[in-house]
């Protein structure tokens, strides 16, 4: 089923029989990951377990090969990943997101709740969208992965 939501987002409900390991489910209509401030139409996939008709959740977790070592100077964060040999510089929201995923895997709602509590900010739609964009960027670096559960 394909429909347009009130936010101008195309939504498609799929029934899946085999759940692949890592899926990039948030893409614009050109098939590219979208940025938080990207106002182009987007495709959002909702996955339904064909056996139970229950929605599946995207769970974000640290890449099993990642071994993170943190440093912080004021609002600037640097993390060295011994698994890949790469060093990443990040802002406070990105660091809080990666720290939340490193502490415990979770779906977007769980992670946003933890991040809002940690940063003492309002848990709202704006924060959720920002965290979603951060998760996608972190996934492209290979630090985190997503699975369906």
pLDDT (tens digit per residue) in 89-148: 999 999 999 999 999 999 999 999 999 999 999 999 999 999 999 999 999 999 999 998
Render pLDDT for 69-101 as a digit per residue (tens, 0 to 9).
Answer: 999 998 899 999 999 999 999 999 999 999 999
Q: How many domains does one find in the chain?
A: 2
State which of 11, 27, 58 marks the end of a domain: 58
pTM of the model: 0.66
Give residue 70's pLDDT: 97
- The H or E element containing residue 76 is strand 76-81
Give the residue numbers spanning the domain of 129.
59-148
* Residue 104 Cα distances to 13, 20, 98, 121, 127, angstroms: 28, 21, 10, 20, 19
Same domain for 96 and 122, yes or no, is yes
């Amino acid at each position: 089923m394909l429909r347009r939501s009130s936010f101008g987002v195309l939504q498609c409900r799929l029934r899946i029989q085999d759940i692949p390991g890592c899926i990039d489910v948030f893409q614009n209509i050109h098939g590219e990951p979208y940025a938080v401030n990207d106002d182009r139409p987007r495709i959002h996939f909702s996955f339904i377990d064909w056996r139970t008709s229950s929605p599946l959740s995207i769970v974000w977790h640290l890449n099993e090969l990642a071994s993170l070592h943190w440093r912080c100077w004021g609002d600037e964060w640097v993390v060295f990943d011994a698994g890949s040999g790469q060093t990443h510089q990040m802002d406070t929201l990105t660091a809080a997101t990666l720290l939340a995923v490193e502490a415990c895997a979770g779906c977007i709602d769980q992670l946003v709740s933890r991040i809002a509590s940690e940063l003492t900010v309002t848990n709202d739609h704006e924060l959720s969208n920002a965290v979603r964009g951060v998760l996608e960027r972190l996934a492209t670096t290979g630090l985190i992965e997503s699975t369906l559960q």
